[in-house]
Structure 1
Amino acid sequence: MNTSLWWWLIPVVLFFWAVGAYNRLVRLRAAVGKAFAVFDEQLVRQVVWIQGCLPEAMRGGLQTSPIELDDPVTAAWARLHATSDQVVVALAKLRGHPMDGAGMAALVLAHEAMRTAWAGALAEAIAEDAVPSAQRLQERWMRLLHQSLPLRAAFNEAVQSYNQGIGQFPAWLLARVFGFKPAGALARLAEPR
């Protein structure tokens, strides 16, 4: 075979391989974004439900004085309100960058704080004869958490596929050139306990 043909054939093959590999990385990154969007929707449902459980006076925003926070019931509701706002802020930051590892860690911490505040609100702020009862509210909360488990798993699978894709040779060369960075997974978020 003529050597000049090889000099043309090799760059053409490399070019088409590079285009295919780049498109695969873009598809993997898009799959992470789509999986996060679905999971984000479920987390928003959790936050809306939590905020709907707040007393009427706190639903428009936290309007308590320091003296009122000395009351354990008001303090429990205030913690729940503040932590649900933290989840909202963490989600808002991740919507534009769903693969940000530090943002995912912040979301996990905010969600854990909200779950802890929810448990505190059930214990401190809901009377035993309340309708609905603390037990019924906890059952509903657990259902919301269970509904998010398969969505979290789908997101983590998409992240794992993406991270494997950008780590494989020779695609990692393209990943470095075009700035594909590893994505952060959601380790414990939304696990019922």
Structure 2
Amino acid sequence: MPDSLLWWILGAVALFWFIGAYNRIVRLRSGALQAYATLDLTLVRQLEFVQARLAEELVPVEAASGTAREDAGLKASTAQLVTLLVATRLKPLDPARITALAAALHAMLSAWERLHPDAVISFEADGTLSRPAPLNGRHEGAPVPMAWPEPSAAAEIARSQFNQAVEQYNAAIVQFPALLVAWIMQLRPAAPLR
């Protein structure tokens, strides 16, 4: 009987530990998903800003072909970003989808900056303005802020919060005891939006 009781106690402790570790990982995963929802809203707002400006600036027929090509490039990159945003909403923590979304976002931002070099604004992750010159206090591992079309720090703040939530989730699923829970429940690492 004493051996049986000891095994029941150890089994109960292991079960409660497993449930607690699983709840922690799920909470962190949920935080990353919520951070992505906020990021998605701010990216949609950036897209709406770009699309509204494109609608205002219809290129006349006699415009230079270089401007028309850049305008077409911006329209194409915007359409690609819209498509990838829709695809990423299905699985926002899938590294392949986030990587594709980042590539499309950088393409759209580059096309916007070529057309409107003076109309882009960079913000630090905390929302402070970093344009015209980046802050000198940035250390080597710090993320480089993106230059956004809409003059709002919301997109950079949302991107920073998403990246932090992903880093916390990824750190939780590689810690030793929780690693077993993540392996059993098939929880995979996510990718930040760089």
Structure (1 or 2) with the larger CA radius of gyration: 1
Q: What is the CA–CA distance in structure 2 between the aligned matches of 1:92 and 1:68, rounded to whole Å?
A: 36
SS at match of 2:14: helix
Alignment match, 2:5: 5
For 1:29, the equivalent position in structure 2 comes to 29
Q: 1:158 aligns with which of 154, 157, 165?
A: 165
Q: Is the 8 A contact 2:74 2:108 kept in 1?
A: yes
Matches within 5 A, 1:113-128: 113-122=107-116
What's the RMSD between the two structures over aligned residues?
2.4
Q: Is the 8 A contact 1:94 1:104 kept in 2?
A: yes
Structure 2 CA distance for partners of 1:138 and 1:23, relative to 1, 3 Å:
closer
Q: Which has the higher helix share?
A: 1
- In the TM superposition, structure 1's runs of 4+ consecutive aligned residues that sit over 3 Å from their partners are 55-58, 67-70, 137-140
Structure-to-structure mapping, 1:9-158, within 5 angstroms: 9-55=9-55, 71-122=65-116, 135=118, 137-138=119-120, 141=149, 143-144=151-152, 146-158=153-165
Which residue identity lines up with residue 73 of structure 1 in the other structure?
T
TM-score, normalised via structure 2 length: 0.77
Query: Which of residues 173, 177, 181 in structure 2 aligns to 1:170?
Result: 177
Q: Look up the match of 1:62.
A: none
Counterparts of 2:161 and 2:192, CA distance in 1: 10
Is contact 1:69–1:75 with CA below 8 Å preserved after alignment?
no
* 5+ residue gaps, structure 2: 122-147
State the distance in 1 between where 2:32 and 2:62 align: 44
The whole-number CA distance in structure 2 between the counterparts of 1:114 and 1:152 is: 16
Distance 1:118 1:26 in 2: 38
State TM-score, norm by structure 1.
Answer: 0.77
Residue-pair matches, total: 166
Counterpart amino acid of 2:96?
Answer: A
